A and B are shown apart, each in its own frame.
Chain A
Amino acid sequence: MTAEPFPPGWRIVPASVAGPDHLATGAENQDALAYRRLGDGFVLAVADGAGSSSRASTGSRLAVESACDVAADLFTVAPAGSEVWMATAARYVASLLRLFDQRIDGLAGGFAVRADYATTITCVVAHPPDYLFASLGDGFGVIVRDRGGAHLVMRPDDAGPDDGAAVFLTSAARREAVQVCLVHDPAVGGVALCTDGLIEALLAADLAPGGGRRLLAPAEFERYFTAFGADRHDAGILSDQLQSEEFAATSRDDKTMLLAVRT
């Protein structure tokens, strides 16, 4: 985690806890998070190492570090206009994948097996009022608007629990599976990134018009932003909550939430 100060007017609130299964066995948290200031903007990243992969925690750490390092190269200054944003976004994704590969390949004396480091990645590069989300896997991103409520803008790669094979940063089909979304909104008052261990606890669902479920950010989600923004609560209460029995009952998975809140 990078401890650089954030741009004035923003507060960072990180929390990442091991899930009940990992706690019971003494295994480490396979989620990771990182964040960094980019001049007047910032980058946030969360990742969820695949439980079935032997070096997943290393994979998730390298993923979030790569997301921040590439953002620091490409987004120190805000791109001018949506077309430049999207062109830079394409370079960002390509560079992130390349750097992640290079870092994996540099491990184990050059004999690392990439699949052992399988991980998701969800990140946001922010130069307010622009917010570029990129995600591979089932992490998700929420924004809150002043007097406009919380909105799920980066959806988990969610076929629901009836899922097929997940796509990770180490998967062959990763490039096509990356989701990218650019939000231009002067009214954004905060951004949250979460790993999939929090889907069940934090997101609501309704019936999609074509059948199946549609995930959404419930109205209560806004309270995460008010608690750490206007109300200035201690950041520690977020970790306490993610470790609570109530949250443990929603998922055996590790849980990570990274908030950037206007103060």
Chain B
Amino acid sequence: MNSPLPGVQAAKTRLLITLVVDTSSSMAHQDAIGDLNRALRQWREELQADSNLRRIGELALVTFGAGGVTVVDPSGHGREPLASPFVPVNEFNPPPLRASGYSPMVAAVQRALQVVEQRREALRQSGIQMAYRPIVYLLTDGAPTDEAGKRSDRWRDLEPLLRKEEDDHRLLFYAFGVRGADMNVLRELAPKGAFDVQGDNFTTVLAAVRRSIQRIMTVGRSTDPGTVHDQVRSDIDEMQQMREWLSIQKAP
């Protein structure tokens, strides 16, 4: 029977989520890129099952590897030019990513900050506000290089910029280091938001990303970033402990 009461209004807020993903040649080792592609497909289904996130979430995907930094069409349609790097969660369907080239990580994070800012401004002009701080996740298995493959220290310039964005409650930044990542650099870029997940597959890493999104959706924008990071770390540690406990139970 149809309800005599009206349905809900259109969403008035947004949560912007940006993945900055390493697709350099090292990601071809032991088919890490294949693992990532499979994990992204599963992650997509999990995100789309979350009705709250489906309503307000938008996703962007920035890669760094062959060809330098690429803002990928996250809908998988290969739109060019890409009018908006963000798509609603229910349209997120990333294309298979390929691994080759170097690791211009810093340029990729800078590009991510630009697309977030552009989207934030477009939403603001439409009268739509951010329910929560935009979140940027860096997933890498290496160390930052320039576009020619030379090890780069440019991340030292990026670090204060990230801190200012976080301190101004304009952004939350997390860095997940997998399979040989330079954790020293990641801990500098994200002192409280760096996670050493070298032994984990990408399904586990993206599960941690998803858990952090769920946490961030429970805290207001006025909460200081250090508190948010502590809560996220606590949640992810709890996930890790649960996984270890389950693996012990399964062991013969």
Contact = CB atoms under 8 A, between A and B. Distances in A.
A163 B222 CA distance: 6
Given A218-B9, A249-B51, A205 B218 contact: no
Interface stretch (B79-87, B124-132, B159-167, B235-243): B124-132
B58 to A, nearest CB: 15
A82 B130 CA distance: 40
Contacts of B3: 237, 241
Interface stretch (B10-18, B101-109, B137-145, B175-183): B10-18
B5 A205 contact: no
Given A161-B221, A252-B52, A247 B129 contact: no
Interface stretch (A29-37, A129-137, A196-204): A196-204
Contacts of B252: none
Interface stretch (A88-96, A118-126, A167-175, A208-216): A208-216
Contacts of B217: 252
Nearest to A211: B124
A207 interface: yes
B8 A213 contact: no
Given A165-B222, A200-B12, A252-B217, A160 B6 contact: no
A208 to B, nearest CB: 7
B220 interface: yes
Given A223-B5, A246-B8, A250-B8, A162 B52 contact: no
A247 B130 contact: no
A161 B130 contact: yes
B119 interface: no
Contacts of B221: 161-163
Contacts of B8: 200-202, 246-247, 249-250
Contacts of A204: 9-10, 12
Given A163-B222, A165-B222, A200-B13, A221 B6 contact: yes
Given A200-B13, A213-B12, A250-B55, A206 B127 contact: yes
Contacts of A238: 5
Size category of the binding interface on chain B? 20 to 34
Contacts of A245: 51
Chief secondary structure at chain B's binding surface: loop
Nearest to A198: B8
Nearest to A242: B5
B129 A162 contact: yes
Interface string A39-57: 0000000000000000000
Contacts of B130: 161-162
Interface string B43-55: 0000000011011
A123 B126 CA distance: 32
Contact of B55 (A165, A214, A223, A249): A249
Interface in B158-212: none
A226 B11 CA distance: 25
Interface centre among A199, A226, A247, A250 (most CB of B within 10 A): A250
Contact of A223 (B4, B54, B128): B4
Contact of A233 (B4, B10, B220): B4
20 contacts: A160-B129, A161-B129, A161-B130, A161-B132, A161-B220, A199-B12, A201-B8, A204-B12, A205-B128, A207-B125, A212-B129, A218-B9, A220-B6, A223-B4, A223-B5, A223-B6, A231-B4, A249-B54, A250-B11, A250-B55
